[in-house]
Amino acid sequence: MTREYETVIGLEVHVELSTKTKIFCGCSCEFGGSPNTRICPVCLGMPGALPVLNKKVLEYAIAAGLATDCTISPVTVFDRKNYFYPDNPQNYQISQLYLPVCRDGGITIETGEEGAKSIRRIRIREIHMEEDAGKLFHDRKEGFSHIDHNRAGVPLLEIVSEPDMKNAEEVIAYLDRLRRILQHLGISDCKLQEGSLRVDVNLSVREAGDSRLGVRTEMKNLNSFRAVSAAIESERSRQIGLLQKGEAVEQQTRRWDDAKKESFVMRSKEDVRDYRYFPDPDLPPVSISPEFIESVCVSMGESYDEMVERFAKEYRLPQKELSYLTGEKALARLFEETVSICHKSGSVSNWLMGENLRLMRKEGMDAEDLRFSPEHLAQLIDIFEEGRINSTIAKEVFEVMFYEDISPEAYVEEKGLGLISDLSLLEETAAACMKDNPKSVQDYLSGKAKAIGFLVGQTMKAMGGKADPGAVKSVLEKLLSSL
């Protein structure tokens, strides 16, 4: 008898907070910088150096908790998670185990195609604050490993879900929603590729209908949504394969190799007891007053969902556009600012999702990296819709604006790209084209209506592309019908 299996998935998501300074010292969190230039005795774990909590980190943690329906703890405590690794000079990581800052929240996800949507609540067990570790560089040629401590002490939130997800689609929906919510709060850029959002996938399988959880593995090193999906499929088959052979799944931490599309054992999974957690004696318990929570709540402003709802109402965008434009904070802002100048939400949305998205994909850019101003996009839309340039030229101008943020108005003027609206010149050029292409003219007159397309093309070419194809076509039709 073949058995049916179901998959159970819980996620541990780390997000790097975009505070100016580290969690327990005043060192800069800015990405990059020469190795070991953003360090001090505190983040290096020197004897006698004392950590002090960065208040912004607490604010951001509370904001994340409020945005995901968590309960905020009245008292939160930092614990030491003890382990040795060369990127961790303290020999412990300051994290939270017993009294995390937020608990018992959840977010609602939507999966499935239009018409067969399923809406589910994924519970969030807790959110805790912790510090990041340094980075190791292994120089295999020289046979040395180097350590850069710039990242040591950068604040992280760890968001732990309950094992409520059943497949890759739900996992992606959960991650995407979480990313949107946190990015909207402005507390993290949440980029998987750059490591400001890191996902560990805990996965087990069990026989369908069984209420007990199976033994799980934890998978790391997932740098894209695509990798997350592939890793889930691969691990699910691996575990089912083991069970079908009558073997047991071992509790392990595994590393996903995206090139090989396979995961490998890193270590047999350690237990929480192995870390000898204890409250950090250098950091007093933190009381969180209702007034403080209230002040964070006020500073958060419009929530992600409120923004989406407002966009839907104010701009009447179709679902797909709405989802895309609210997907990145920088894009939503660019859209709103442009619309506030030109008052053409449909056109702004079309340009952003059309030419703009095409070029962003080509360059591998995020909305954050866009360089053109809302004023310039509004200007381009205006001159195009006033009929001062045609659509081919508008796209060309958009591309120059995309890369160099030129003023479309000035650019069209300078390069002489404006449409030629001189009707007699148009007629003269069209007539000349008809004379040069008697075959097309014959074809048209003998009933092949499509033959006019060629004549339009030739006339456009003769006018250097600077005519309105619609106007050219009607001039040709007029001339042809008078033959």
How far is residue 164's CA from residue 181's CA, in Å, rounded to a whole number?
Answer: 19
Contacts 24+ apart (CB under 8 A), 310-317: 314/345, 315/339, 315/345, 315/349, 316/345, 317/345, 317/349
Supply the minimum distance, in Å, between the C-beta of residue 413 and ligand ADP: 59
Pick out residues in 217-256 that bind ligand ADP (CB under 6 A).
Answer: none
13, interface contact from Zn ion, ligand ADP, none, CB < 5-8 Å by kind: none
Q: Which stretch binds Zn ion (CB under 5 A): 43-51, 202-210, 307-315, 423-431?
A: 43-51
Do 377 and 337 form a contact (C-beta atoms < 8 A)?
no
Asked whether position 208 contacts ligand ADP by CB under 6 A, the answer is no
Question: From the CB of residue 390, how many other CB atoms can be counted at a distance below 10 Å?
Answer: 21
Comparing CB distances to Zn ion, the nearer of 42 and 249 is 42
Q: Collapsing DSSP states into helix, strand and coil, what is residue 182?
A: helix
25, interface contact from Zn ion, ligand ADP, none, CB < 5-8 Å by kind: Zn ion
Residue 464 has phi, psi (to 5 degrees) of 65, 25
Among 64, 181, 199, 203, binds ligand ADP (CB under 6 A): 203
Q: Collapsing DSSP states into helix, strand and coil, what is residue 154?
A: coil
Asked whether position 297 contacts Zn ion by CB under 5 A, the answer is no
DSSP string of 9-34, one letter each residue: EEEEEEEE---SB-SSSS-B--S--S
How far is residue 237's CA from residue 213's CA, in Å, rounded to a whole number?
Answer: 17
Asked whether position 376 contacts ligand ADP by CB under 6 A, the answer is no
Do 44 and 89 form a contact (C-beta atoms < 8 A)?
yes
163, interface contact from Zn ion, ligand ADP, none, CB < 5-8 Å by kind: ligand ADP
Among 202, 239, 347, 459, binds ligand ADP (CB under 6 A): 202
Asked whether position 162 contacts ligand ADP by CB under 6 A, the answer is yes
Please list the residues that pair with 81 across neighbouring strands.
Answer: 93
Pick out residues in 10-29 that bind ligand ADP (CB under 6 A).
Answer: 10-12
Among 46, 50, 136, 213, binds ligand ADP (CB under 6 A): 213
11, interface contact from Zn ion, ligand ADP, none, CB < 5-8 Å by kind: ligand ADP
27, interface contact from Zn ion, ligand ADP, none, CB < 5-8 Å by kind: Zn ion
Residues lying near ligand ADP in the complex (CB under 6 A) are found at: 8-12, 160-163, 202-204, 213-214, 216, 272
